[in-house]
């Protein structure tokens, strides 16, 4: 069976550096940080008191007060990002077969804030005070479900939960869904809003978060020798994927072509990456094999680049393993230096950054990369965006549990 060509026709972003694709992109090219003190709860007692919050988001700008109360914040983010993506793709659901339009949106954690709130109510006031919408607010599939309800998409509707690889897996799995004929159009990506006391406390207990509380905008510093952990963040990244034939038939804007996807497992540890990077390198190799491209064809790598000691070193090793001598020549950057780590949504906004890098021939920088770690000795585009013709780009995501995912997009050509 011949696999169908899949193109990107729309994107939507909610991030700590801006709501909307263009604001997000302008902030990245400026090297603007979205990290600041946590304001959504009292973090005074926590080791890490900083996060990438979406501070300019007001649910009443997008939902009625009743609807906003019923929808968890991570579901709202998915909905708003999907609206932008559908609009940018000029996708009129009344003009297409809704049975052939699917939704695949994941989340790493879901609504842990709802769990905290409702359990506190239970302890204080008993089970009869638990909110009727408690369960629909917490389950991860509600993001895809809500987007399906809003858009009228009646094709495959599902979700992915693979920690920090979630959005990349969601986009890649949606790509496969279209390639093999299960749908003509997929609304895909990831969403997250887990900057809560329990979640931040849990990551603090893992010693995973940066403690650079006095300099929040310098806290996320991937590949820098002085990095001390990642910074939690929230937001959503959603894209519209569809067959080339379908996109051309409806005269849709074609932003890029999705050509490669690889996913593997380390089978090693519940949080730490396998020490040689073998699982990550296999994911990249599989994506290249799927795309039909060679390592030297990749113009830009959007790294997972979390700003943790292990991840950045292991990802560097994995890139060297796959790209060999070309590894020192290909530009690499981590936008987590600016946005923080959106967990299950990270791959969604990073995919968007790859498409935008191709569109504008600009690579966003890795800010705060002032003193590169000797173990991280590649070209991480430090601190300043770079003008480069980007013909194709790879985006990597490496998640807790050993989940590895890589996708490759290239400029569309007939």
| Whether 304 is catalytic | yes
pLDDT at 414: 84
| Phi, psi for residue 342 in degrees, rounded to 5 | -85, 10
Cα dihedral 22, 24, 25, 30 sign: positive
pLDDT band at 238 (very low <50, low <70, confident <90, very high): very high
pLDDT at 170 over 80: yes
Contact 217, 338 (CB under 8 A): no
- DSSP state for residue 142 in the 8-state scheme: H
The contacts of residue 169 (CB under 8 Å, 6+ apart) are 106, 160, 162, 263, 347, 397, 403, 405
**Residue ranges covered by each domain of the chain:** 7-401
Q: Which residue shows structure tokens 């998409």?
A: 153
pLDDT at 1 over 90: no
Q: Which of 246, 304, 354, 369 is catalytic?
A: 304
Pairing state between β 6-15 and 101-106:
unpaired
pLDDT at 216 over 80: yes
Distance CA(157)–CA(135), nearest Å, equals: 19
pLDDT at 236 over 70: yes
Write the CATH number of the domain with boundaries 7-401: 3.40.47.10
| Whether 164 is catalytic | yes
Digit-coded pLDDT (tens) for 24-83:
999 999 999 999 999 999 999 999 999 999 999 999 999 999 999 999 999 999 999 999
The contacts of residue 74 (CB under 8 Å, 6+ apart) are 107, 109, 110, 111, 143, 191, 192, 193, 194, 234, 236
Q: Which of 159, 164, 177, 354 is catalytic?
A: 164
The answer to pTM > 0.75 is yes
Percent with pLDDT over 90 in the chain:
98
User: 3-class SS at 96?
Assistant: coil
pLDDT at 3: 86
Q: Which of 177, 341, 369, 403 is catalytic?
A: 341
pLDDT at 331: 98
Distance CA(33)–CA(343), nearest Å, equals: 17
Digit-coded pLDDT (tens) for 182-193:
999 999 999 999
- Packed helices 346-360 and 21-30: angle between N→C axes, nearest 10 degrees: 80
The contacts of residue 7 (CB under 8 Å, 6+ apart) are 241, 242, 243, 244, 247, 254, 255, 256, 257, 258, 412
Digit-coded pLDDT (tens) for 322-343:
999 999 999 999 999 999 999 9
| Whether 403 is catalytic | no
Pure H helices in 139-258: 142-151, 166-179, 197-205, 244-249
Average pLDDT of the residues in 266-280: 93
């Amino acid at each position: 069976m011949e696999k169908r060509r899949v193109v990107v026709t729309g994107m939507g972003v909610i991030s700590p550096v801006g709501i909307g694709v263009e604001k997000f992109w302008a902030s990245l090219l400026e090297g603007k940080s979205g990290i600041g003190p946590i304001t959504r709860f009292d973090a005074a007692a926590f080791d890490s008191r900083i996060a990438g919050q979406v501070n300019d988001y007001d649910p009443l700008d997008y939902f009625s007060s009743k609807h906003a109360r019923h929808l968890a914040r991570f579901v709202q983010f998915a909905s708003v990002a999907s609206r932008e993506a559908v609009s940018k793709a000029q996708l009129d659901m009344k003009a297409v077969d809704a049975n052939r339009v699917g939704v695949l949106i994941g989340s790493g954690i879901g609504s842990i804030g709802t769990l905290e709130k409702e359990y506190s109510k239970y302890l204080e006031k008993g089970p009869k005070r638990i909110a009727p919408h408690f369960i629909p607010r917490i389950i991860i599939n509600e993001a895809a479900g809500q987007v399906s309800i809003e858009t009228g998409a009646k094709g495959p509707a599902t979700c992915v939960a693979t920690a920090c690889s979630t959005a990349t897996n969601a986009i890649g799995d949606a790509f496969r869904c279209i390639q093999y004929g299960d749908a003509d159009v997929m609304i895909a990506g990831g969403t997250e809003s887990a900057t809560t006391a329990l979640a931040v406390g849990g990551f603090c207990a893992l010693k995973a978060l940066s403690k650079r509380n006095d300099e929040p905008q310098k806290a996320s510093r991937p590949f820098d020798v002085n990095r001390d952990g990642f910074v939690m963040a929230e937001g959503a990244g959603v894209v519209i994927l569809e067959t080339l034939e379908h996109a051309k038939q409806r005269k849709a804007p074609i932003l890029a072509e999705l050509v490669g996807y690889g996913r593997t497992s380390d089978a090693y540890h519940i949080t730490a990456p396998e020490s040689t990077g073998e699982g990550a390198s296999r994911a990249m190799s599989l994506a290249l094999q799927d795309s039909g491209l060679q390592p030297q064809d990749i113009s830009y790598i959007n790294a997972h680049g979390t700003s943790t000691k292990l991840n950045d070193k292991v990802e560097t090793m994995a890139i060297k393993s796959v790209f060999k001598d070309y590894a020192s020549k290909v530009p690499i950057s981590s936008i987590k230096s600016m946005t923080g780590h959106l967990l299950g949504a990270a791959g969604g906004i990073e995919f968007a950054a790859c498409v935008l890098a191709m569109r504008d021939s600009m690579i966003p920088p890795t800010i705060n990369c002032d003193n590169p770690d000797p173990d991280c000795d590649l070209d991480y585009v430090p601190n300043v965006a770079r003008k480069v013709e980007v013909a194709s780009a790879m985006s990597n995501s490496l998640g807790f549990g050993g989940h590895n995912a890589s996708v490759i997009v290239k400029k569309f050509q007939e």
